[in-house]
Amino acid sequence: MFGLKKSVILTKISCRKSNRKVRFSFSFCLLFGIINGMKIVSGIYGGRPLKTLEGKTTRPTSDKVRGAIFNMIGPYFEGGRVLDLYAGSGGLSIEAVSRGMSSAVLVERDRKAQAVVAENIQMTKEVGKFQLLKIDAERALEQVSGEFDLIFLDPPYAKEQIVADIEKMAERELFAENVMVVCETDKSVELPEEIACLGIWKEKIYGISKVTVYVR
């Protein structure tokens, strides 16, 4: 009997410790806004977990919307360079490489988001395919060079910033011949039919989000 009581007491203590660990882990995730449960939708990294960070300066693209975006523009690729100018968690550019793009440059100025992007890049086990620039988009557009085949734009102040970014990229000749520029905005945002050398190719609404794709 004594041995049984001792076992029950030890089990209760162990459970309390375990609960404290769970509560601590949950509180840590709440504190830093880290969200688990998302994943890479398809390709060579398909099914692998993707961490995201939701906050005032970042908003993660859901698995459903990410999958829909790639159904619009791919869904798979045979090489090419990616530029993700407002990377957030890096999910879009990592998904693009998973589906066949050769490499990606990810730009993110938020420090907490940078840590999440770095962790997600490590998850791929192919870190050489990715370059993380820890600067803002304006500085990045002055630094990057060469042509990009696929560009993601999801800025905090969508319409004005997207127009300015596309005009700057056109000025710096960052567009490949068959470039696709994918813009994610609130569904209420109306983007111009044409910006610089690009025009709208496709546009669809998914829930509260609108996806607009520009091509030459």
| Nearest of 72, 134, 77 to residue 103 by alpha carbon | 77
Sequence spans of domains, the chain: 30-215
The Cα angle at residue 39 between residues 203 and 166, in degrees rounded to 5: 35
- Does residue 77 have a pLDDT over 70? yes
Torsion of CA 17, 49, 34, 123, to 10 degrees: 100
List the structure tokens of 156: 């905090």
Structure confidence by residue, pLDDT tens digits, 116-143: 999 999 999 999 999 999 999 999 999 9
Q: What is the pLDDT of residue 131?
A: 99
The correct answer on CATH 3.40.720.10 for the domain covering 30-215 is no
Percentage of the residues of the chain whose pLDDT score is greater than 70? 80
Packing angle between helix 111-124 and helix 91-98, nearest 10 degrees? 20
Please say whether the beta carbons of 27 and 18 come within 8 A.
Answer: no
Distance between CA atoms of 106 and 137, rounded to whole angstroms? Answer: 10
Q: What is the pLDDT of residue 59?
A: 58
Please say whether the beta carbons of 214 and 195 come within 8 A.
Answer: yes
Provide mean pLDDT across the span 9-29: 43
Question: Model pTM?
Answer: 0.82
Q: How many CB atoms lie within 10 A of CB 11?
A: 10
Q: What is the pLDDT of residue 26?
A: 38
Distance between CA atoms of 180 and 58, rounded to whole angstroms? Answer: 22
Structure confidence by residue, pLDDT tens digits, 49-70: 999 876 544 556 788 889 999 9
